[in-house]
Amino acid sequence: MFYKEQLKGNSYEGKTLSFTFDDGPGETMGDQTGPKTVRIAQYLYEEEISATFFCVGSTILKYPDVLDSISYYGHTIGNHTYTHINMVKGLANGEDILSEVSQTTQLIQKYSPEHIMFRAPWGQWSPEVADYLNDTIANASSYVGPFYWDIDGSDWSYWLKNKSAEECAIRYLADILHEDKGIVLMHDSSADNITAKNNNLCYETIKILVPLLKKLGFKFISLKDFYIRK
């Protein structure tokens, strides 16, 4: 179901993290900057880390084969609406937020047939949106969320300023050490800004961050493992 309050990782044990990635999927040829969803998924698989990729429906249509790879590498594919809409403003303005959710579900349901993990774009959410979706979506009980986050190093802002993966990783490491546990928000692409998308270095940042976190004794858990199986 859609909860009135967004889910966070405040119940996690210390030094426990969940990696989540928004706004994808995306692909970039070679080693130039840009989205590299499959390489992130493969790298995390090799590191025995299961993540959640909250995908935008309209972007899935551009890279339909990427979802097969995300699933193959053992990750969860979540719903991040069809056009990356602000759900609160959308409901207030009479926009079709129901289709925003249901259209993306149609694209990802074969990868998550029992439970659809959901995250609202920008974390914009309200009890009214939750009530509306629970009342209008026939299978609302199969949804879990929305998921918020505990750690947000604003990776997209580094790409906007054309900063390095090293600088971004330092920021995330500091925020993780401060919080000690929780859901980590990153972006494997950008749904709203072409500069942030083209300069994306999320893959490179992850490759710096994961070894450091492991050395510090952090462990990793998927949202599905914690929220569905507990």
In this prediction, residues 70-91 reach a mean pLDDT of: 97
pLDDT > 90: what percent of the chain? 93
Q: What is the mean pLDDT of residues 2-28?
A: 96
Burial class (CB in 10 A: 0-12, 13-18, 19+), 10: exposed
Q: Considering the chain, what is the average pLDDT of its residues?
A: 96
Instruction: Record the pTM.
Output: 0.96
Say whether pLDDT at 230 is over 60.
no
Closest CA to 83 of 102, 109, 64: 102
Q: pLDDT at position 108, please?
A: 96
- In the prediction, which pLDDT does 167 show? 98
Q: Kindly report the number of other CB atoms within 10 A of residue 9's CB atom.
A: 24
Give percent above pLDDT 70 in the chain.
Answer: 99
Please say whether the beta carbons of 220 and 76 come within 8 A.
no
pLDDT digits (tens, 9 = 90+) for 122-171: 999 999 999 999 999 988 999 999 999 999 999 999 999 999 999 999 99
Taking every pair of Cα atoms in the chain, the longest distance, rounded to a whole number of angstroms, is 50
Provide the pLDDT confidence category of residue 112 given band limits of 50, 70 and 90. Answer: confident
Banded model confidence at residue 227, pLDDT cuts 50, 70, 90: confident
Give all domains of the chain, ordered by start, each with its CATH number. 2-227 (3.20.20.370)
Residue 229 confidence (pLDDT): 61
What pLDDT, on a 0 to 100 scale, did the predictor assign at position 138? 83
User: pLDDT tens-digit profile of 191-207?
Assistant: 999 999 999 999 999 99
